[in-house]
Amino acid sequence: MPRISINGVAHDIDADPQMPLLWVIRDILGMTGTKFGCGVGACGACTVHIDGSATRSCMTALADVAGHEVTTIEGLSADGSHPVQQAWVAHNVPQCGYCQAGQIMQAADLMKQTPNPSEQQIIDAMSGNICRCGTYQRIRAAITAATDLHASTQSSSKAR
Amino acid sequence: MTHIINLSRRDLLKAGAGVSALVLGMHAGLREFPVAQAAEGASFEPNVYLGIDETGLVTIVAHRSEMGTGIRTGLPMVLADELEADWSRVKVLQANGDPKYGDQNTDGSRSMRQFYQTMRVAGATARQMLEDAAALTWHVDPNECHARNHAVVHTPTGRQLPFGDLVKLAAGLPVPSDDHISLHFKSPQARRYVGKPVPIVDLHDIVRGQAKYGIDTVLPGMKYASIERCPVYGGKVRSFDSKAALAVPGVEQVVEVPATPAPSGFNPLGGIAVIANSTWAAQQGRLQLKIDWDFGANAGYDTTSYRKELEATAQKAGRVVRAEGDVDGALQSAAKRVSADYFVPHYSHAPMEVPAAAARVENSKCEVWAPSQNPQGARTTVADVLSLKESDVTIHTTLLGGAFGRKSKHDFIAEAAWLAQKIGAPVKVTWTREDDIQHDYFHAICAQHIEAGLDGNGAATAWLHRTVFPPIEATFQPSVTYGTAGELQQGFMDVPYAIANVRCENGPAQNHVRIGWYRSVFNVPHAFAVCSFADELAAAAGRDPVEYLRELIGPARIIDLRAIGVDYPNYGAPLDQYPIDTARLHGVLDLAVANSGWGEALPQRHGRGVAVHRSFLTYVAVVAHVAIGNDGQIAIPRIDMAVDCGLVVNPDRVRSQFEGAAIMAISNALYSNITAKDGRIEQSNFTDYDVARTDITPETHVHIVESSAPPAGVGEPGVPPTAPAICNAIFAATGKRIRALPIDPSELKST
Ligand code: FES
Ligand code: FES
């Protein structure tokens, strides 16, 4: 029985090892923050972090995450205080909100890998995430703001 | 007219034990004004509720569906503002589908228009009752008592009583009548929330992954279903073999869902449902089904040949829906004649949340949880399909993960309910993206022909426009081939140009797939053709497009189409309050132009294009700036949108709707295309049904006209003028005219 760790909690999952992590999270563990959008890796709605890297959970088999650490939107921060979540709130990014968990997880990964992304780096990192409502303008602004926020908290903690 | 009834003793908002509450229900059209005492046990059908409990918590029921427009925040803002409530102490409760709330069909960009006044009346009524209660407590003149931020203040002395303390007394008071003498509204200057950017109530839940959509519904003992439907519309199962499907681990049963013959309306298409213990197992089981289909009458549907048919029809005289002057004579005597043919394909809504619903049937009562734009309509369909009484069907409206018109069709909801009844267990039906794209209620494919005559100065003297499309009505009624007035009003019969001779004709077309309304509906093809053709006329006249457009719109005036015999519905709104006002077209055009850098020099293969259009009673002008690579690749560095939608309740949500409309219009213009061959849709997922992504996103500037005109549509009107503005910009950049969507970049290569 594959054992996986989600948001720091270990679960033994009794399911087809080929079942995509997305459906394990949603149907077996009942955590619905991670969304289904396409099932083929084309929309980013299902994005989670595996060992810290943004990954499409619809394309990741349960068997492949055994022994790895999965973070979902519910585990990104305890209280919505991750700089990306804060920037999303400050820019009123969501419309329907459905794609936003995936967008936020993708953006959080970008910020970690590339603390000061250029416009083109933001585009490259975020082009796999579809928002049918069309919140891209605000997502871009929020990411820029979040990286600034992140940079300023880092430099102030360094100063201390 | 809205009437209000005091429901305090009816316990409708279930306040906590021992907490009394002032509860108001409103009913449109009720003749009497029962006072609180009389209200007890009285029978009426209120359409919206406001509750205030003794702790001061204000509960406002949102009866319209939230699909991303922000209406679940906007309407409560209006009420809370008139109430003088502290927004941080307001809780929004989503209504079930029930006629007692009045119209809940959240489509047509009309929630704010239809319920702004209702919400104001609700808030003002409650505020006044609280003020009266304070006056009674203090033994003072009610005119000296004014609600201020969740408390009533006695102005001469500064004494205050919080709302919560006044609830008990207020609940027993007579309800002031809505006659504008007894009921006082706040002055515009005193508005606390209306006109201010207020964050949506679900914002924090969304960013933490806590917001619940229909697809997120989990019921105790729930099964998961995935349904294989006939690839051709109107087809049905001849026979099927479920052995291999049943052998898939997790699959529990395979059930045939009866087919609804075309036109299938809102009923399930039918097919073979696999029931399993997870979505994945159900989907895997489906792959193992062997089904012999009877494809039926639409098995020959081919959009390539169908397009040719539509285009041929558009060359012939059609049914006349608007006629002024002598178009044929004016065309004959014109100094110059211009004509063009336009084509817009089928689109699929593809909201990010696929159609999904969960249902439970117990003791002949059905409960459904669904992302429905029209929960009352869903209730009717479910009751019909399950042969239950409507009163035995409850529709819980969840958040909608996008909708764009798709989720005002209840087929997917009825599927869940039917399966729950059939298998005797709660069940959730989740469509795959392939299901969604291939079995949508598609946006109508449309061919158009326009001809104009110009005089020696280039001014237009004649306008002949023909539109041909399979009508939406054909999804519901057999043999409907012509558009209804409701469809033809959308950017076609209402062309607002100052041309003496005008004729608009509609040709017949047979449908072969389910046709449905898709954000902005027929304004999408019509604005594309009309706003592109205006630009073609400017070019033919050798004029600047903006100057030419100003002359085409002509003098500031009210266009009264009914006076010239046109059956013009005006989106169901009264013409005296919402006329076609060309001054407002000019207003948005001037605003967009002034902010867009129109006329300033641009690099080679860059261009600006303009379009102006009224839809859903709102006026929008768009200036698009494009840059075309030598390889034909399109970039859109900037879009300026000017909007006059009358009174603005939440400017931030107006902006976000227009930003989003720009993106959806870019999808329509550049990427999306549904085609059919042998009756089957050729696209399947976001891999081959392309939509706009962040790389094409323009810097988007939304300029809002300050207005005290009655509120008009916001969700849809940004879409129609954006695609033609882009196409006109491409002409400015390259000299190539775009007359068919989606744009083919290979035609834009530099030679
Ligand atoms: S659902 Fe995984 S990428 Fe779309
Ligand atoms: S906010 Fe609706 S899909 Fe992105």
**pLDDT tens column, B276-312:** 999 999 999 999 999 999 999 999 999 999 999 999 9
Round to whole Å and give the CA distance between B11 and B339: 65
Q: How confident is the model at residue B173 (pLDDT cuts 50, 70, 90)?
A: confident
Q: CB neighbours of B305 closer than 8 A, spacing ≥ 6?
A: none
Residue B688 in contact with partner chain A when CB distance is under 8 A: no
Residue B683 buriedness (CB in 10 A; 0-12 / 13-18 / 19+) = buried
Residue B650 or residue B5, greater confidence: B650
Decide which of B15 and A136 is more confident: A136
Cβ proximity of B570 and B617 under 8 Å: yes
> Is there a contact between A19 and B280 if contact means CB atoms under 8 Å apart?
yes
Q: Would you state the structure tokens that stand for residue B247, as one six-digit string?
A: 């052998």
Collect all residues of chain B within an 8 Å Cβ-Cβ radius of residue A83.
none
Question: Which pLDDT score, from 0 to 100, does residue A157 have?
Answer: 43
- Alpha carbon of B203 to ligand 2 centroid (Å): 12
The DSSP element (H or E) to which B165 belongs, if any, is helix B163-170
Find out whether B749 and B630 touch, Cβ atoms under 8 Å.
yes
Q: What is the pLDDT of residue B751?
A: 79
Q: How far is B693 from chain A (nearest CA, A)?
A: 6
Q: Tell me what percent of the residues of chain B surpass a pLDDT of 90.
A: 89
The model's confidence at residue B4, banded by pLDDT at 50, 70 and 90, is: low
| Structure-block tokens of residue B312 | 């041929």
- Which atom of ligand 2 is closest in space to residue B401's alpha carbon? 2
pLDDT of residue B5: 54
**Closest alpha carbon within chain B to A84:** B207
Measure CA B146 to chain center: 38
The amino acid that residue A135 corresponds to is: T
Residues B258-281, mean pLDDT to the nearest whole number: 98
Nearest CA in chain A to B211: A33
**Distance of alpha carbon B593 from alpha carbon B609, whole angstroms:** 10
Q: Is B703 helix (H, G, I), strand (E, B) or coil?
A: strand
Interface predicted TM-score (ipTM) over 0.90: yes
Residue partners of B423: CB distance under 8 A and separation at least 6 = B223, B253, B255, B275
Pick from A23, A96, A140: CB nearest B401 = A96
Ligand 2: atom nearest CA of B68 is 2
> In a 3-state reduction of DSSP, which class is residue B506?
strand
In angstroms, what CA-CA distances link B315 with B318, B343, B465?
Answer: 9, 13, 10
Q: What atom of ligand 2 comes closest to residue A134's alpha carbon? A: 4
Q: How far is CA B321 from CA A108, B260, B327, B497, in A?
A: 55, 33, 14, 16
Of A40, A99, A137, the CB nearest to B352: A99
> Hey, which residues 256-315 in chain B have their CB within 8 Å of chain A?
278-281, 283-284
Mean pLDDT of B93-102: 88
| pLDDT tens readout for residues B204-220 | 999 999 999 999 999 99
- Centre a 10 Å sphere on the Cβ of residue B688 and count the other Cβ atoms it contains: 12
Residue ranges of chain A with pLDDT lower than 70?
149-160
What are the CA-CA distances from residue A63 to residues A1, A54, B114, B278, B502 (Å)? 9, 18, 53, 17, 67
Q: Quick one: how many helices (H) and strands (E) in chain B? A: 18, 30
Ligand with minimal distance to B67 CA: 2
Check CB contact under 8 Å for A89 and B207: yes
pLDDT band for B6, please (50, 70, 90 cuts). low
CB B359 within 8 A of CB B398: no
Element (H, E) at B274: strand B271-276
Instruction: Give the strand pairing for B223-228 and B427-430.
Output: parallel
Query: Across the interface, do A45 and B686 touch by the CB < 8 Å criterion?
Result: no
pTM of the model: 0.94
pLDDT on residue B423 = 98
Whether ligand 1 lies within 6 angstroms of the CB of A130 is answered as no
Give all strands (DSSP E) within B655-732, no chain letters: 676-677, 680-681, 699-704
Instruction: Give the Cα separation of B690 and A42 in Å (integer).
Output: 10
B165-179, B184-198, B411-425: lowest mean pLDDT where?
B165-179
For residues B88 and B77, what is the distance between their CA atoms, to the nearest angstrom?
Answer: 11
Over residues B717-745, the mean pLDDT reads 98
Task: Give the residue-averaged pLDDT of B175-187.
Answer: 81
Q: Is the pLDDT of residue B141 over 60?
A: yes
Region B246-262: what's the mean pLDDT? Answer: 97
Query: What phi and psi, each to the nearest 5 degrees, are found at residue A34?
Result: -85, 130
For residue B360, give Cα distances in angstroms to B219, B375, B637: 8, 16, 50
Question: Residue B179 pLDDT more than 60?
Answer: yes
User: Which atom from ligand 1 is nearest to the alpha carbon of A47?
Assistant: 2
Q: B306: which 2 tokens?
A: 């169908």
By the CB < 8 Å criterion, does B402 face chain A?
Answer: yes
H/E run at residue B205: helix B203-207
Q: Return the residue matching tokens 């001061």.
A: B56
* pLDDT higher than threshold 90 for residue B13: no
The pLDDT, as a whole number, for residue B19 is 40
Q: What is the CA radius of gyration of chain B?
A: 28
A39 lines ligand 1 (CB under 6 A): yes
Which residues in chain B are contacts of A35 at CB distance < 8 A? Answer: 213, 215, 352-353, 401
Give the integer Cα–Cα distance in Å for B434 and B286.
13
In angstroms, the CA B540 to CA B537 distance is 5
**CB under 6 Å to ligand 2: residues?**
A 94-100, 131-133, 135; B 68, 352, 402
Minimal C-alpha gap between A137 and chain B (Å): 7
Best mutation target, A16, A77, A119, A133, to test chain B (most B CBs within 10 A): A133
- The reply to whether B685 touches chain A by the CB within 8 Å rule is yes
Q: Which of A103, A104, A131, A138 to mutate to test the pocket of ligand 2 (most atoms within 8 A of CB)?
A: A131
CB B25 within 8 A of CB B101: no
Shortest distance, CA A43 to any CA of chain B (angstroms)? 7
Q: Which residues of B touch A101 (CB under 8 A)?
A: 209
pLDDT band at B99 (very low <50, low <70, confident <90, very high): confident
B-chain CB neighbours of A1 within 8 Å are none
Least confident of A69-78, B63-72, B116-125: B116-125
Give the distance (Å) from ligand 2 centre to CA of residue B351. 8
Which percentage of chain B shows pLDDT scores above 70? 93
pLDDT band at B701 (very low <50, low <70, confident <90, very high): very high
pLDDT digits (tens, 9 = 90+) for B228-239: 999 999 999 999
Q: CA A73, B407, B437 angle in degrees (round to 5)? A: 80
Nearest-CA residue for ligand 1 atom 3 is A41
Tokens 């407002």 -> residue: B584
Whole-number pLDDT of residue A152: 62
Instruction: Answer whether A56 contacts ligand 1 (Cβ < 6 A).
Output: yes
Closest residue CA from atom 4 of ligand 2: A131
| Per-residue model confidence (pLDDT) at position B575 | 97
Q: Which has the closest alpha carbon to B558: B642, B611, B647, B496?
A: B496
- B736 CB burial (10 A radius; 0-12, 13-18, 19+): middle
The pLDDT, as a whole number, for residue B176 is 82
Q: Which of A43, A49, A129, A132 to mutate to test the pocket of ligand 1 (most atoms within 8 A of CB)?
A: A43
**pLDDT for position A153:** 59
Of B197, B212, B685, the CB nearest to A42: B685
Ligand 2 centroid from CA B429, angstroms: 21
Q: What is the pLDDT of residue B263?
A: 97
Which tokens sit at B172?
């027993």
Spatial CA neighbour of B649 closest among B172, B115, B54, B96:
B115
Distance CA B395, CA B166 (A): 34
Q: Which helix (H) or strand (E) holds B613?
A: strand B606-615
Stronger pLDDT, B724 or B4, i.e. the higher one: B724
CA distance linking residue B356 with residue B368, whole number of Å: 11
Q: How far is CA B734 from CA B121, B170, B530, B739, B745, in A?
A: 54, 69, 20, 14, 12
pLDDT band at B48 (very low <50, low <70, confident <90, very high): low
**Is B430 part of the contact surface with chain A (CB cutoff 8 Å)?**
yes
Average pLDDT over residues B658-681: 98
Contact call for residues A29 and A4 (beta carbons, < 8 A): no
B690 touches chain A (CB under 8 A): no
Indicate yes or no: CB of B697 within 8 angstroms of CB of A20.
no
Q: Band of the pLDDT at B676, cuts 50, 70, 90?
A: very high
A-B contacts (CB, under 8 Å): 186
- Adjacent-strand bridge partners of B448: B342, B467
B450/B158 Cα distance (integer angstroms)? 68
Contacts of B734 (CB under 8 A, 6+ apart): B605, B607, B628, B748, B750
How crowded is the C-beta side of A144, counted as CA atoms within 13 Å? 11
Candidates B207, B638, B690: best to mutate against A (most CBs of A within 10 A) is: B207
Question: Cβ contacts (< 8 Å) between A130 and chain B: which residues?
Answer: 352, 686, 691, 693
Q: Is B28 a residue whose pLDDT tops 60?
A: no
Q: What are B324's two structure tokens? A: 């002024």
Closest chain B residue to A47 measured between Cα atoms?
A: B209
> A55-59, B170-174, B570-574: which has the minimum mean pLDDT?
B170-174
Mark yes or no for CB contact B209/A139 under 8 Å: no
What spacing in Å lies between the alpha carbon of B448 and ligand 2's midpoint? Answer: 32
pLDDT mean over B87-92: 96
CA distance A32 to B217: 9
- The beta strand positions in B494-545, using DSSP E, are 501-507
Q: What is the pLDDT of residue B22?
A: 59
| Residue A118: CA count within 13 A, CB half-sphere | 3
SS3 string of A71-122?
ECHHHHCCCCCCHHHHHHHHCCCCCCCCCHHHHHHHHHHHHHHCCCCCHHHH
Integer-rounded Cα Rg, in Å, for chain A is 16
Ligand 2 center from residue B319 Cα (angstroms):
40
Which residue(s) pair with B53 in the sheet?
A: B21
Residue B338 is encoded by which pair of tokens? Answer: 């211009």
Span B635-639, average pLDDT: 98
> Which token pair is B472?
């939406």
- Parallel, antiparallel or unpaired: strands B336-344 and B271-276: unpaired
3-state helix, strand, coil in chain A (%, to 5): 45, 15, 40
Within 127-186 of B, beta carbons closer than 8 Å to A belong to none
B46 or B514, greater pLDDT = B514
B66, B218, B695 member nearest A123 (Cβ):
B695
Looking at B109-148, which runs of residues are DSSP E strands?
145-148
Kindly state the average pLDDT of the residues B394-398.
Answer: 98
A46 Cβ inside 6 Å of ligand 1:
yes
Which of B73, B205, B206 to substitute to test the interface with A, most A CBs within 10 Å? B206
Q: Using CB atoms, which residue from B206, B215, B693 is nearest to A100? A: B206
